[in-house]
Amino acid sequence: MIQSANGQTVKSVVPDSGSQGLTFPITINGSSTEWTLSPYFEVYFDSIGVGTTGVTIINDSTLTGTVLIDGKASLAWHKVVVADQFNNLFTKDTALFVRLSIPPAPLLISPLNNAQNQLQNPSLLWDSNGYATYFRVQVALDSLFTNKKVDTTVANPPYSVRPNLLALNTKYFWRINATNSKGTSPWSPVWNFRVRSTGVGNISEEIPSIYKLFNNYPNPFNPETNIKFQVPEFTDVKIEVYDVNGKLVERLINSRINAGTYSIKWKGNNNPSGIYFCKLTAGKYSETKKIVLLK
């Protein structure tokens, strides 16, 4: 059972403050402690994003180590907990204060780097930072961003590119930075994606009440058919075509899209006549329709 050491506490952590994103040495001073009796110690702070490494025993009342403060650690006084091999805990409530610093470079999430078959209005997602005032979003035709299609700022992720702004069957590059009162972060790594060769049309901006995959038209068809579907919320959407053996023939959509009603074409030029199945997967919802290619 873990218990507090009787009359023994942490007296101070020196230095007792540091900025987000810093790594620096600290000294932990104890009061009425006999720390050389324990072979080792572990040091914790009551915050995700603040940690320690390399804790070393100097004498009965002194430990040293290195504190690591994440770029998004919470701004506040943080409690320190020192634990020895005998399950004794030595604590101090206001031990280390984390100060605001320039944000770290955002981490890109989706579309994944080198993603293919993306919508013409993809939703760009990156890790949020509650201490960022705004994020700058750039999308360009080249990795040096000399030919930009998007250059704007948003308060929070995600950012949905305006419909029909991006060209079909074209590769784009994107990056993000973050700004707060201390300054602006470096740019994120540059990722790229390619817009699919067949566009997804937004039929209606009215928000539907349910998920639905409609019957394709025409059906039977040759060589292409229209697949209509609707989603009532911003969500991950996959539209996939399978053959009668359950083998994936083509993935038409695999992206996050806004609520609305959409239509996409499937071209069966390179597939034999027969029965196929079109499957919509959106969040926890799925629906399948039979489609017939007749050449």
Say if residues 124 and 205 touch (Cβ distance below 8 Å). no
The pLDDT of residue 21 is above 60: yes
Q: What is the CATH number of the domain that holds 13?
A: 2.60.40.10
Domain count, the chain: 3
In this structure, are 115 and 129 located in the same domain? Answer: yes
* Domain finish residue from 50, 79, 99: 99
pLDDT of amino acid 6: 61
In this structure, are 225 and 151 located in the same domain? Answer: no
Q: What is the CATH number of the domain that holds 237?
A: 2.60.40.2550
Mean pLDDT of 241-258: 88
Query: Backbone dihedral region of 246: left (phi > 0), alpha (psi from -120 to 50 degrees) or beta?
Result: left
- Of residues 195 and 1, more confidently modeled: 195
- Of residues 122 and 64, more confidently modeled: 64
Whole-number average pLDDT of the chain: 91
In this structure, are 78 and 113 located in the same domain? Answer: no
pLDDT, tens digit, 9 for 90 and up, residues 87-107: 899 999 999 999 999 999 999
pLDDT band at 2 (very low <50, low <70, confident <90, very high): very low
d(CA 191, CA 116): 12
Say if residues 104 and 94 touch (Cβ distance below 8 Å). no
In this structure, are 139 and 160 located in the same domain? Answer: yes
d(CA 294, CA 9): 81
pLDDT band at 14 (very low <50, low <70, confident <90, very high): very high
User: Which tokens hold the place of 69?
Assistant: 């403060």
In this structure, are 264 and 184 located in the same domain? Answer: no
In this structure, are 182 and 204 located in the same domain? Answer: no
In this structure, are 204 and 185 located in the same domain? Answer: no
Say if residues 269 and 223 touch (Cβ distance below 8 Å). yes
d(CA 159, CA 44): 37
Q: What are phi and psi of 283, to 5 degrees?
A: 60, -125
pLDDT of amino acid 183: 97
* Domain finish residue from 153, 174, 195: 195
In this structure, are 87 and 63 located in the same domain? Answer: yes
pLDDT, tens digit, 9 for 90 and up, residues 175-230: 999 999 999 999 999 999 998 776 677 787 689 999 999 999 999 999 999 999 99
Q: Is 179 exposed, middle or buried (0-12, 13-18, 19+ CB in 10 A)?
A: middle
Peptide bond into 232 cis (omega under 30): no
Domain interval for residue 164: 108-195
DSSP 36: G
The pLDDT of residue 1 is above 50: no
* Domain finish residue from 195, 216, 238: 195
pLDDT, tens digit, 9 for 90 and up, residues 120-159: 778 899 998 999 999 999 999 999 999 999 999 999 999 9
This prediction has a pTM of 0.68
